[in-house]
A = this chain, B = another copy of it.
Amino acid sequence: MQALIERIQAEAVYLGRGIIKVDGFINHQIDPTLTMGMGQAFAEAFSAAGVVGITKVVTAEVSGIAPAFATAHVLGVPLVYARKHRPVTMANGVFTAEAPSRTKGGIVQLMISPEYLGLADRVLLIDDFLAKGHTIEALARLIAASGAVLCGIGCVVEKVFETGRELLTPLQVPIISLARVDVRDEQIVVA
């Protein structure tokens, strides 16, 4: 996605230890026009990959919400975001899966209520980053637990120097990233 790649080249900052800062347009401040373009790009790429009949988009709070919302808007389907902290409105008996979190440290528990995901659903999984793939893999387990069918995985930024794609390949669904980045000589380069 050209507009995203240009934004990464102009604004992304490499903080060392594999960490890429894109707080200016993804993780803290969001550019709605760019983000709606991400939704359009995901919809077109999955359609081209033969992924059809999607009924739900699933992501995890927090930074996945905006690009997943844009994708759900373009596809005309609801978005379900897995919670990491159980709100008082969430009943017991929810689907849960654990994932290690590097950006937060420790283990994160992801929760989705069976009220909003089930046997009849065909799901597109969207997240901001594909790094080691642990969060997306945990979301895929939640989707499987619900009986829904995972049809595709989309990530805004894929770190090609991490092992995420390898971890997700056994899921046997198209994995689409809108920008693939590498780090060379402590600099971010588009792969």
Contact = CB atoms under 8 A, between A and B. Distances in A.
B27 A73 contact: no
Nearest to A113: B28
Interface stretch (A60-68, A147-155, A164-172): A60-68
Interface size class of A (residues with CB under 8 A): 35 or more
Interface stretch (A30-38, A44-52, A133-141, A180-188): A30-38
A24 interface: yes
Given A28-B90, A66-B65, A81-B30, A23 B115 contact: yes
Nearest to A21: B89
Contacts of A20: 89
A5 to B, nearest CB: 19
Given A29-B116, A32-B72, A65-B66, A19 B88 contact: yes
Given A62-B61, A103-B88, A104-B85, A69 B19 contact: no
A93 to B, nearest CB: 14
Contact of A83 (B15, B28, B66, B69): B28
A28 B72 contact: no
A137 to B, nearest CB: 20
